[in-house]
Amino acid sequence: MDVASFAASIANPALHIFFIVGVLGSILLMYSQFVEAENRRDLIRMVGAAALAVYAISIGNILFIITTTGIFFAALIEFVEIYLGIHTHFPAEMKTMIQTYKKGEKK
């Protein structure tokens, strides 16, 4: 990036808004990793990915657009599966989750 294009980007307040949206989206994506409830995790991930997709569209990076929309649709599909009750885990994982739950119940 040369000095002239950098100076033009500083003067354009619309780019600042897209940048702020992108930063908030990346923060939401990182935060979604720590949310326990899967349905809330997917909703936060969808909002974060949508915000990053808006930023990616504003800068015109095709790879970034594809990546963020992929994350958005993956989270959307998982959220719909949870909402409809068809979301399942692997049997070994479920067994571990049940054992952990039962141990917590005995205390």
Domain tally, the chain:
1
Give one DSSP letter per residue of 25-54, joined into a string. HHHHHHHHTT-SSHHHHHHHHHHHHHHHHH
Task: Indicate the pTM of the whole model.
Answer: 0.70
Among candidate residues 25, 19, 21, the one with its CA nearest the CA of residue 75: 25
Give one DSSP letter per residue of 54-96, joined into a string. HHHHHHT-HHHHHHHHHHHHHHHHHHHHHHHT-----HHHHHH
* Structure confidence by residue, pLDDT tens digits, 3-35: 666 656 666 677 788 899 999 999 999 999 999
Query: Could you list the residue range(s) of the whole structural domain that residue 101 is in?
Result: 3-106
